[in-house]
């Protein structure tokens, strides 16, 4: 499936001549759009999402909800989805769902299927069949749901035989993904007894759980979080349909902030303020430590790049979708860039730590690969074709590097369609080339 506007098999970037100066608007947040689609589906009444993301990840979510008997109308030009919620019921008693390589869709829907009465199958692209979902299946089994990995690999395809979800207590490992927790939290209000979830080990990607709680509250439900160790969702609650406006995507913003950083230019991203609950807005804190100037306003963030970037050592567990953005520009810094505590990104669209080490080395960059991160040393970058492994963030991150150094070609640029179909058009606009 491709939603990208007819990309060629490869794109060679043209470096910019001098500092750029750009005002940027971005597509809606993937995380908020897919949460709001789920919450609207579970609500009572008709909801409209405005400024939503239209990309592969939201298309597979919307289509899966339709297959479950929940009407979802879309207007990709007006950027709205209109959802007829079914008050926590799943109308279809049989369905086969295709989730592509969307982790949020796979995880959120697996929990949602447990609310149904029937038998459901959920599958995705070959890489999705390598992305673990067993902790969520185990949690659902603790709640009495017959949920299983069909191949026994602990990954999709997943089969759920559901007879409704009463609720209860669950022990959930936290170290692989926060999406299992978000998935359970969102169905919690629709259970009779509610959910009490205890996290085993340290929870990764914590800000996404904040997004989940915030979105649930926006649709009228309450959740209680005790220090990211224990979560209590009262049962018998009703989500209320509403008009909901999606914030721009903070992970998408990271590419444009990085562009300012490497060109010594200025980029202002609109409609995304420093008080956003999206953790990835804190990528600018990392750039600030590297010497950028950051102006944080209620409804915009501006980054001004320095003459020369400094190295940095940073724990990126909470903002791991921006690891590739930082790693791709890291060779241009005057000192080493050390990224720690992101072992979980080996289970994303690709093994991101290994993919980064491989592709940076291809460009002549000196890199150490650790189990949980990377060290990237100041290096001259030589021309080359970057393999993207069907990972949108590999394509977007190395494209930023290609705006500064000569001869960077991005293989399969169309993979940006997962979350940002018109990325290269918006990049050209930011460079004044549109």
Ligand X SMILES: O=C(O)C1=C[C@@H](OP(=O)(O)O)[C@@H](O)[C@H](O)C1
Ligand Y SMILES: C=C(OP(=O)(O)O)C(=O)O
Catalytic residues: 321
Q: Is residue 102 involved in binding ligand X (CB under 6 A)? A: no
C-alpha dist (Å) from residue 150 to 112, 146, 156: 18, 12, 7
Distance CA 33, CA 28 (A): 7
Distance CA 434, CA 431 (A): 8
Asked if 402 and 13 touch (Cβ cutoff 8 Å), the reply is yes
Collapse the DSSP code of 153 into the 3-class scheme (helix H, G, I; strand E, B; otherwise coil) and give the result.
Answer: coil
Minimum separation from the CB atom of position 358 to ligand Y (A) = 18
Could you tell me which of 347, 350, 335 has the C-alpha nearest to residue 397?
350
Minimum separation from the CB atom of position 285 to ligand Y (A) = 19
Task: Write out the binding residues for 3-phosphoshikimate.
Answer: 30-31, 35, 177-179, 205, 321, 348
# residues near ligand Y by CB under 6 A:
8
| Interface region with ligand X, contact rule CB under 6 A, candidates 121-129, 203-211, 252-260, 372-380 | 203-211
Collapse the DSSP code of 323 into the 3-class scheme (helix H, G, I; strand E, B; otherwise coil) and give the result.
Answer: helix
Say how many C-beta atoms besides its own lie within 10 A of residue 1's C-beta. 12
Nearer Cβ to ligand Y, position 47 or 101?
A: 101
Q: Which of 28, 31, 39, 264 contacts ligand X by CB under 6 A? A: 31
Q: Which of 102, 178, 278, 325 contacts ligand X by CB under 6 A? A: 178
Q: Which of 419, 420, 423, 430 contacts ligand Y by CB under 6 A? A: 419
Task: Write out the binding residues.
Answer: 30-31, 35, 103, 131, 177-179, 205, 321, 348, 352, 393, 418
Nearer Cβ to ligand Y, position 241 or 252?
A: 252
Minimum separation from the CB atom of position 102 to ligand Y (A) = 5
Say how many C-beta atoms besides its own lie within 10 A of residue 364's C-beta. 13
Q: Is residue 280 involved in binding ligand Y (CB under 6 A)? A: no
# residues near ligand X by CB under 6 A:
13
Say how many C-beta atoms besides its own lie within 10 A of residue 96's C-beta. 12
Nearer Cβ to ligand X, position 65 or 204?
A: 204
Q: Which of 348, 367, 408, 420 contacts ligand Y by CB under 6 A? A: 348
SS3 for 244-290 is EECCECHHHHHHHHHHHHHHCCEEEEECCCCCCCCHHHHHHHHHHHC
Q: Which of 33, 48, 105, 179 contacts ligand X by CB under 6 A? A: 179
Length of the chain: 434
CB neighbours of 433 closer than 8 A, spacing ≥ 6? none
Positions in the binding site for ligand Y (CB under 6 A)? 101-104, 321, 348, 393, 419
Positions in the binding site for ligand X (CB under 6 A)? 31, 103-104, 177-179, 182, 204-205, 208, 320-321, 344
């Amino acid at each position: 499936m491709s939603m990208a506007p007819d990309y060629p098999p490869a794109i060679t970037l043209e470096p910019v001549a001098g500092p750029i100066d750009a005002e940027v608007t971005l597509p809606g947040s993937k995380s908020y759009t897919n949460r709001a689609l789920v919450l609207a589906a579970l609500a009572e009444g008709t909801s409209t999402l405005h400024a939503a993301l239209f990309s592969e990840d939201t298309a597979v979510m919307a289509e899966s909800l339709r297959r479950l008997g929940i009407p979802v109308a879309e207007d990709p030009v007006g950027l709205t989805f209109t959802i007829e919620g079914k008050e926590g019921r799943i109308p279809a008693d049989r369905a086969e769902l295709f989730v592509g390589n969307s982790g949020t869709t796979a995880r959120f829907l697996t929990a949602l299927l447990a609310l149904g009465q029937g038998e459901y199958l959920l599958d995705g692209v070959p890489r999705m069949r390598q992305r673990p979902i067993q902790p969520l299946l185990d949690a659902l089994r603790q709640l009495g749901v017959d949920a299983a990995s069909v191949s026994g690999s602990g990954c999709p395809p997943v089969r759920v035989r559901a007879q409704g979800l009463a609720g209860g207590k669950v022990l959930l490992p936290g170290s692989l993904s926060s999406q299992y927790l978000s998935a359970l939290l969102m169905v919690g209000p629709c259970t009779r007894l509610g959910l009490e979830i205890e996290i085993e080990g340290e929870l990764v990607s914590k800000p996404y759980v904040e997004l989940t709680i915030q979105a649930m509250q926006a649709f009228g439900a309450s959740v209680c979080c005790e220090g990211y160790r224990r979560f209590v969702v009262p049962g018998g609650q009703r989500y209320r349909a509403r008009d909901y406006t999606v914030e721009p995507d903070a992970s998408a913003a990271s590419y444009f902030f990085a562009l300012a950083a490497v060109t010594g230019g200025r980029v202002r991203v609109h409609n995304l303020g420093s008080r956003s609950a999206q953790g990835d807005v804190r990528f600018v804190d990392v750039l600030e430590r590297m010497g950028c100037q950051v102006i944080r306003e209620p409804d915009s963030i501006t980054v001004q790049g320095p003459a020369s970037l400094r190295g940095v050592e940073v724990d990126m567990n909470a903002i791991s979708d921006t690891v590739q953005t930082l790693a791709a520009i890291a060779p241009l810094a005057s000192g080493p860039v050390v990224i720690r505590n992101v072992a979980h990104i080996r289970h994303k669209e690709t093994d991101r730590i290994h993919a980064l080490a491989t592709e940076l080395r291809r460009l002549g960059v000196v890199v150490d690969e650790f189990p949980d991160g990377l060290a990237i040393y100041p290096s001259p970058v030589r021309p080359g074709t970057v393999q993207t492994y069907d990972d949108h963030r590999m394509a977007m991150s190395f494209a930023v590097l290609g705006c500064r150094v000569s001869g960077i070609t991005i293989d399969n640029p169309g993979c940006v369609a997962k979350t940002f179909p018109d990325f290269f058009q918006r990049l050209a606009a930011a460079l004044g080339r549109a």
